[in-house]
Chain A
Amino acid sequence: MKQNIYNIAFIVVCFLALYLLENSIQAFPLRLGTALLMSFIVGEILSKIGLPRISTYLIIGIITGPYAFSFFSLQAVSDLRIIDSIALSTIAFVAGSDIDFRKGNIKFFKILSFSLIQFIIGFSAALLIFYIMGKFFHFGLFTNIAFILFLALILNAVSPATTVAVIKETGSKGKLTDYVLSTAILKDFTIIVCFSILLSILGSRGEEASIAKVLTEEVLSAAAGIVAGFAVFVYMRFVKINLGVFLFLTIIIITWIARETHLSNLMVFITAGIFLNNFTRFGSIVAESIDKNFNIILLIFFFSAGMVIDLKALMSMFGLAIFIVILRIVILYVSCYISGSFIKEDFKIKQLSFMGFIGQAGVSIGFAKIIASIFPFGDIFQTLILAVVGINQIMGPVLFRFSLQKAGEIK
């Protein structure tokens, strides 16, 4: 009871402070700190009734962000981008460090088959349904082949960062956890490559999105990840001291290098983590070093991710977005069931894993932005995707947590 009074009092005070503080540069650090504190406290309260903390951080991000109460301007959100990238790199690093192909319960080829079959079924089913809707039910938007191709593809996109966040928060361990995490990463890679192929075929700006260029960037990112992982290994093997400071500096500098050289920091750090965990004995040490402050990293990342969710877009396309969200869930369930059966996995993988792929974030929004800048239907497409991603990102962590609980992988 006493604890609840404290919590509510703090939330009220934080909200009032945000409301009363002027929207100036001088007040920005104070506003940000206050909003983070409020998100954190609300996250703790709602986690007791089963809502993942990251969902709460997102919701508070939306509420305080430029599209709702406007406690933060669009410029302020854009200023946070570097911190956001560093947080994403850290999450990716931890994600990679959690993947262990050497253990008996996870085989690389099984994961690969599971991801690819799931993707092929998911993409084909969505494409077929959208085509039928356009052809036979005369849905205006779905008569454009490029529109439905991109939509079907983006609906398959997932968010590895969200997956890691839920796994870390719940402390889950087991087959479902390993499958969802590894598949999310592989699907992410597959979708990036497919998107570049589609864009080079359908888009007028082929040069910017050539398949070779995207593939080269992804391969280079993976190679850079191995180099980074090796550098961390050398340090840990021969120097050992002050690991925390070393990792912190390394993450900042590699994030910056990735940004300047147009590499994917997600891929770089996931590969670095996988390298450390599968080829050296230091993967778990990296995860442990970051673990103590991982919650603050999640808080910053998901809070700022919430701030970019366009509430107006979500409201303007709410009906259609809800339809697509439901359709996506059904398709995910079917594709996971079939691919799970194909690799002869049990109930956990066949019937529960789909809930781990519902969350969507950065990659989907990034694709929507590219399409908006190239195609005539781009603006509507972007609004629709932002609305869909908004709903999925709020719902995804809740369902993933539920599936992990159902599978008995949460302590």
Chain B
Amino acid sequence: MNEFVISIFFLLIVFIGAAVFSAKTKKPSFLSFVLNLEIEYIIIGVLIYLINAHYFKTSIQSTTMTFISVALCFMGMLIGTQFKYKVLLKVPGAFWKYIFATYVFSFLSIFIIFYLLNYDAPYLYAIILNTGMPYSLTLFGRLFRVGHSRLFNSMLVLSIYPAIALIHYSVYFFIQSSDSPEQFLSLFWLVIFTVGVISYESQQTRKIINTISMIFLFILAGLSVYFDVSPISMGFISGVIAANSPFGDIFSNIYQSFERFFYLFIYMVLGFFLMSQPYFGIKPLITAVSIYFALLFIRHFAFSNLFTRLHGKNKEIQSIMSIGVLPGFLLFDNFFTGLSLIPMEIITVYLVLYLLTEITNYRILVNETKHL
């Protein structure tokens, strides 16, 4: 018995529990919101670690590690395939101003906090935590039956946010590895391979594209492991290339169907790593709370006038607090590529910050909609 099997076992139990709860709970509540976010899988990761450590004492197996690299590539690919050049051109300039102002100021404030609190890699950590994902907002919309028109601008901002974060992260990664020509060679192969696969797919039927896309993902993960390059960056770059091909939508739809499974998996692995070297000192808590207030100020109050101007006369909900699951993926990407040591304290900072932002997100939305 290894931790991979135990994890799947627990995953199944909690998955069923959460699914039953979601299916049977008619009235939207904070618990149903949290369950929808899949945070409970972090606890599963913690349990797996404890059971594994006390009864089985096995090491992380190569199966698990390979799977993590596939999950990371998948995440990059998923975000990349939503980054369509033609669609982005249609986004009005005011949006870009709002997004860049929010991104830059959030980044700077997080960087300063890490720097002042004497962390090893403040720049990298600031990139990792300065993200956003539309996942919880989508769930909220579904759970509380809020129309798309009231969340449109926030959704758009949060959809563009992860792409900017990943561009920033990828550039940082390749600058950091600039002394290693192999990293650039890998990029060359990646581009050649992606363009080749897309050209190949252009000659094929829709049914074949489904299988090719899965093999493609596996080869990308293989390339990143072989060249020791960030899997998430590899996935993202090829995702962007794929998105701007005639098959962008097909790619995107295929990967979206696996989205939830990989989210569950990464939360669980986060919980596992959290327990493997627990770091519950006061410093991560102070860091998380400081970043939280900085984000609350910048993302909710500082540019609210700019946000109001985006939607004209329509009253829209401004809710871009959520940092989403992306930092979890980026943390593992770091671990994989050896960009920094396993940043255990950062996992704690991330999880606390994640909870705080999601709770705030929930409260903002409840207040705005007056549903509860």
Is B199 in contact with chain A by the CB < 8 A criterion?
yes
The distance from the CB of A208 to the nearest CB of chain B, in whole angstroms, is 23
Contact with B along A285-324 (1 / 0, CB 8 A): 0000000110110010000000000000000000000000
The reply to whether B225 and A253 form a contact with Cβ atoms under 8 Å apart is no
Closest B residue by C-beta to A4: B203
Binds B, one of A33-41, A104-112, A374-382: A33-41
Is B282 in contact with chain A by the CB < 8 A criterion?
no
Which of chain B's residues have a CB closer than 8 A to the CB of A246?
Answer: 12, 15-16, 19
The distance from the CB of B25 to the nearest CB of chain A, in whole angstroms, is 12
The distance from the CB of B44 to the nearest CB of chain A, in whole angstroms, is 12
Is B222 in contact with chain A by the CB < 8 A criterion?
yes
The reply to whether B19 and A242 form a contact with Cβ atoms under 8 Å apart is yes
Is B214 in contact with chain A by the CB < 8 A criterion?
yes
The reply to whether A239 and B19 form a contact with Cβ atoms under 8 Å apart is yes
Is B314 in contact with chain A by the CB < 8 A criterion?
no
The reply to whether A245 and B260 form a contact with Cβ atoms under 8 Å apart is yes
Contact with A along B265-276 (1 / 0, CB 8 A): 000000000000
The reply to whether A40 and B215 form a contact with Cβ atoms under 8 Å apart is yes
List which A253-296 residues lie within 8 A (CB) of chain B. 253, 256, 260, 292-293, 295-296
The distance from the CB of A186 to the nearest CB of chain B, in whole angstroms, is 31
Bound CA–CA A26/B15 (angstroms) = 33
The reply to whether A252 and B8 form a contact with Cβ atoms under 8 Å apart is yes
Which of chain A's residues have a CB closer than 8 A to the CB of B221?
Answer: 29, 33
The reply to whether B8 and A27 form a contact with Cβ atoms under 8 Å apart is no
The reply to whether B12 and A29 form a contact with Cβ atoms under 8 Å apart is no
Is A32 in contact with chain B by the CB < 8 A criterion?
yes
The reply to whether B12 and A296 form a contact with Cβ atoms under 8 Å apart is no
List which A362-391 residues lie within 8 A (CB) of chain B. none
Closest B residue by C-beta to A240: B23
The interface on chain A, measured as residues whose beta carbon lies within 8 A of the other chain's beta carbons, has a size of 45
Contact with A along B5-35 (1 / 0, CB 8 A): 1001101100110011011000000000000
Is A49 in contact with chain B by the CB < 8 A criterion?
no
Contact of B203 among A6, A242, A299 (CB under 8 A): A6
The distance from the CB of B71 to the nearest CB of chain A, in whole angstroms, is 13
Given contacts A6-B203, A246-B15, A248-B261, contact A241 B23 (CB under 8 A): yes
The reply to whether B223 and A235 form a contact with Cβ atoms under 8 Å apart is no
The reply to whether B16 and A293 form a contact with Cβ atoms under 8 Å apart is no
Bound CA–CA A41/B214 (angstroms) = 14
Contact with A along B61-76 (1 / 0, CB 8 A): 0110010010000000
The distance from the CB of B53 to the nearest CB of chain A, in whole angstroms, is 20
Closest A residue by C-beta to B205: A44
Is B250 in contact with chain A by the CB < 8 A criterion?
no
Contact with B along A1-34 (1 / 0, CB 8 A): 0110011001001000000010001111111111
Which of chain A's residues have a CB closer than 8 A to the CB of B66?
Answer: 29
The distance from the CB of B7 to the nearest CB of chain A, in whole angstroms, is 10
Closest B residue by C-beta to A2: B203
Chain B contact residues: over half helix, strand or loop, or mixed?
Answer: helix
The reply to whether B23 and A36 form a contact with Cβ atoms under 8 Å apart is no
Bound CA–CA A56/B252 (angstroms) = 29
The reply to whether A13 and B196 form a contact with Cβ atoms under 8 Å apart is yes
The reply to whether A27 and B218 form a contact with Cβ atoms under 8 Å apart is no
The distance from the CB of B187 to the nearest CB of chain A, in whole angstroms, is 15
* Central interface residue in A27, A44, A249, A250, by most chain B CB within 10 Å: A249
The reply to whether A253 and B8 form a contact with Cβ atoms under 8 Å apart is yes
Bound CA–CA A194/B11 (angstroms) = 39
Given contacts A25-B62, A241-B23, A242-B260, contact A253 B215 (CB under 8 A): no
Bound CA–CA A79/B1 (angstroms) = 15
Is A206 in contact with chain B by the CB < 8 A criterion?
no
Bound CA–CA A296/B174 (angstroms) = 33
The distance from the CB of B157 to the nearest CB of chain A, in whole angstroms, is 28
Given contacts A26-B225, A238-B20, A238-B23, contact A299 B211 (CB under 8 A): yes
Given contacts A3-B203, A245-B260, A253-B5, contact A239 B222 (CB under 8 A): no
Is A82 in contact with chain B by the CB < 8 A criterion?
yes
The reply to whether B264 and A245 form a contact with Cβ atoms under 8 Å apart is yes
Is A408 in contact with chain B by the CB < 8 A criterion?
no
List which B219-242 residues lie within 8 A (CB) of chain A. 219, 221-223, 225-226
The distance from the CB of A93 to the nearest CB of chain B, in whole angstroms, is 16
Is B366 in contact with chain A by the CB < 8 A criterion?
no
Given contacts A260-B1, A299-B211, contact A30 B222 (CB under 8 A): yes
Bound CA–CA A246/B208 (angstroms) = 25
Contact of B219 among A6, A34, A244, A252 (CB under 8 A): A34
Closest A residue by C-beta to B70: A29
The reply to whether B15 and A245 form a contact with Cβ atoms under 8 Å apart is yes
Given contacts A30-B225, A249-B8, A296-B215, contact A239 B20 (CB under 8 A): yes
List which A35-59 residues lie within 8 A (CB) of chain B. 36-37, 40-41, 44
The reply to whether B222 and A34 form a contact with Cβ atoms under 8 Å apart is yes
* Central interface residue in B203, B211, B219, B225, by most chain A CB within 10 Å: B211
The distance from the CB of B267 to the nearest CB of chain A, in whole angstroms, is 13
Which of chain A's residues have a CB closer than 8 A to the CB of B19?
Answer: 235, 239, 241-242, 246
Bound CA–CA A258/B210 (angstroms) = 30
Which of chain A's residues have a CB closer than 8 A to the CB of B218?
Answer: 29, 32-33, 36
The reply to whether B5 and A293 form a contact with Cβ atoms under 8 Å apart is no
Bound CA–CA A31/B219 (angstroms) = 8
Bound CA–CA A299/B23 (angstroms) = 35
The reply to whether A295 and B211 form a contact with Cβ atoms under 8 Å apart is yes
Given contacts A29-B66, A30-B226, contact A253 B199 (CB under 8 A): no
| B binding-site residues for A, Cβ under 8 Å | 1, 5, 8-9, 11-12, 15-16, 19-20, 22-23, 62-63, 66, 69, 196, 199-200, 203-204, 207-208, 210-212, 214-216, 218-219, 221-223, 225-226, 257, 260-261, 264
A-B contact pairs, 18 of them (CB 8 A): A3-B204, A6-B199, A26-B226, A29-B225, A33-B219, A34-B219, A34-B222, A36-B215, A37-B219, A40-B215, A240-B23, A242-B15, A245-B261, A246-B16, A249-B15, A250-B12, A292-B210, A299-B211
5 nearest A-B residue pairs (beta carbon): A30-B222, A33-B219, A29-B222, A33-B218, A3-B203
